[in-house]
Structure 1
Amino acid sequence: MIQQIYPQVNHDYQYELNKDMHLSAAHYVPHESAGPCRNVHGHTYFVNVTIAGDTLDESGFLVNFKTLKNLVHGQFDHTILNEHALFQSGSPEDFPTTEVVARKISEVIQAELDQLPGKPVCVQVFVRETPTSYVVFRPKKVKSNG
């Protein structure tokens, strides 16, 4: 695997965990201004998720890497993104663009993290759609563990 350097997130948490994943998925952007992207096409997305927190669980983990892989890779790999309920509202805020995919991944992960006793936070999701194009999503409000 090629080592990738990601944009850094400023936070005051003691621990920061990063998980890299690849997703093979198809999508289309249902808007006339999307040009050729209106047609179904696929990508091998490269995703990096950054989780931060102050409290480790009973296993000594901030979050188990496998949990993150199941949430993202397990849900989206080898699928057509438009077929997921997350992307079907009809609103441009839910079209499966790279920006929205990054935000939705953050939301899916944070919903799971909110159930954990240590309350870790998803502070960044990096999604590379092509070798020359990527998006970084950071929630505006990062919750505090306190």
Structure 2
Amino acid sequence: MFQQNYPSVQHPYQFELNKDFNFSAAHYIPSEDAGKCMRTHGHTYFVNLTIAGDTLDHNGFLVNFSELKQLVHGQFDHYLLNDLPQFEGKSPSTEIVAQTIYEMVQTSLDQRNNRPKCLQVYVRETPTSYVVYRPKEQHHE
């Protein structure tokens, strides 16, 4: 993976981790005005997660890096996103992919005793196009 600079998020937490990974998947945008994107096509999506918190777990982690990768990569890699239950009733645009990844990650983090927060999900769809998703309200504890 190439070295990438990501937009930073201002926050009051002591610890911040960032995890990069990628997955390959296909999608289509089921709308007449989506142009060529109406046709099924694939991408190698590059993802960066920004996780923050004040309390570490018994291993000294906010969360294990490998858990973060498995949470998303294991769900999306080599699938047609439109067929996945996470996108039922939704168009799997890059924006919706980023929001869905956030929801999956934060739901998992909420189960942890140290309660880290996902502050940002960065999804690069092509070398020239990316989306950043941040939850509208940040709840700091």
Q: Would you say same fold, with TM above 0.5?
A: yes
Q: TM-score range by the shorter chain?
A: over 0.9
SS at match of 2:136: coil
Pair 1:119 & 2:133 matched: no
C-alpha distance in structure 1 between counterparts of 2:134 and 2:39, whole Å: 28
Identity over aligned pairs, percent: 62
Gaps of 5+ in 1: none
Give TM-score scaled by structure 1 length: 0.94
| Structure 2 counterpart SS, 1:29 | coil
- The equivalences for 1:88-103 within 5 A come to 88-89=88-89, 94-103=90-99
Question: Matches of residues 78-93 of structure 1 in structure 2 within 5 Å?
Answer: 78-89=78-89
One-letter amino acid of the structure 2 residue matched with residue 44 of structure 1: T
Normalising by structure 2, what TM-score? 0.98
1:23 and 2:23 matched: yes
How many Å separate the matches in 1 of 2:125 and 2:68? 19
CA distance in 2, matches of 1:46, 1:137: 14
Letter aligned with residue 49 of structure 2: V
Distance in 2, Cα, partners of 1:83 & 1:129: 18
Secondary structure of the 1:115 match is coil
Q: Which runs of 5+ in 2 are unaligned?
A: none
Query: 2:63 aligned with 1:63, yes or no?
Result: yes
1:65-102 per-position Cα deviation (integer Å, ceiling 9, x unaligned): 1110111111101111011111112xxxx210000000
**Shift >2 Å, 4+ stretches:** none
Provide the residue aligned with 2:3 in structure 1.
Answer: 3
The structural deviation recorded for 1:143 is 2.0
Aligned twin of 2:102: 106
Q: Look up the SS of the partner of 1:79 in the other structure.
A: coil
